Every structure is written in structure tokens, then in C-alpha cells.
Amino acid sequence: MPEAWEYTLTIPNDLRAVTVSRRTLRLILTAHGLIRLVDVAELLATELVSNAVRHTKGPAALRVRWAPPGTLRLGAWDADPEPPEPPRPWDRFAEREEGRGLALVQACSDLWGWQPLSRFGNRGKYVWCELTAA
């Protein structure tokens, strides 16, 4: 297993940042020999970053952290201190294209959560999830 590491990608409030984040994440995980986590990690990061870009007006960031013996944590920071809306039950998404991001995060990760942030007078939140490599 790889040693502990962490990357942070600061992104503008631009929907193209979702694709940039997803491709950067794939590169990071591949370089660290974690290709088996790429597909699920890309889905999760896409949802987290997409929410940060779509629902806020400021910059955002994707954070990717590996902690041995096998935990990958993905998180998205944004400048909006308001908590994310709780995930809705799957049956409410039968035909919808939007509004299911955190439900996907909850369903596909081993653990997820959020925390408010305040640093140097800036406020915001950090929404994260974890994947455990078996």
C-alpha cells in the first residue's frame, strides 16, 4: 500500500472545473497505484465538486487524501457556510437528472459528512466522503 499523501486542487466557479477535477483525480490515483478505486472515486468527486460549483458563487477546492492502511478521503470545499441539503430517498429520483448528488455519495461511499469551516475570516464548508480499499 502507498504511503500517506494529500493533494488539493483549487478550482474556479466554473462547470468545466468538474471535468478538470475528475481527470486530475484519475491521474493522481493511477500514479499512486490505486486504479481499482478510480471509477467510484470519480463518481464521488464529480458529485462533490459539482455541488460546490453549482450551488455557490465563489471558488472551491477538491482535496484527495490517502491514509494507510487503506482509506481514501475525497472532499470539496466551497465558500458557502450553509449546510448541504440532506440526501433524499432514492425513490424520489426515478426520472430526475438533478438533486441526487449526496444520495449517490451516501450510497457509494463507506462514510460521508460535512463540517463548517472558518479560517482567516473566510467562512465555508467541507463536504467529504471516504472509500476503504479492501
3-state percent helix, strand, coil for the chain, nearest multiple of 5: 35, 30, 30
58-89 pLDDT tens trace = 889 999 999 999 999 999 999 998 888 877 77
Coil, strand, or helix at residue 89?
coil
Q: Say yes or no to pLDDT of 132 above 60.
A: yes
Q: Using pLDDT thresholds of 50, 70 and 90, give the confidence band for residue 36.
A: very high
Q: Using pLDDT thresholds of 50, 70 and 90, give the confidence band for residue 41.
A: very high
Coil, strand, or helix at residue 58?
coil
Q: pTM, whole model, 2 decimals?
A: 0.88
Q: What is the pLDDT of residue 93?
A: 53
Cell of 70: 487503506
Q: Residue 106 contacts by C-beta under 8 Å, 6 or more apart in sequence?
A: 87, 112
**Alpha-carbon distance 109 to 8, whole Å?**
20
31 and 83 Cβ atoms separated by less than 8 Å: no
Pure H helices in 32-132: 38-54, 101-108
Q: What is the pLDDT of residue 2?
A: 62
Q: What is the pLDDT of residue 38?
A: 97
* Amino acid letter, residue 29: L
81-120 pLDDT tens trace = 888 887 777 565 555 556 578 889 999 999 999 999 886 6
Q: What is the pLDDT of residue 19?
A: 97
Cell of 21: 477535477
Q: Using pLDDT thresholds of 50, 70 and 90, give the confidence band for residue 123.
A: confident
To the nearest whole number, what is the mean pLDDT of the chain?
89
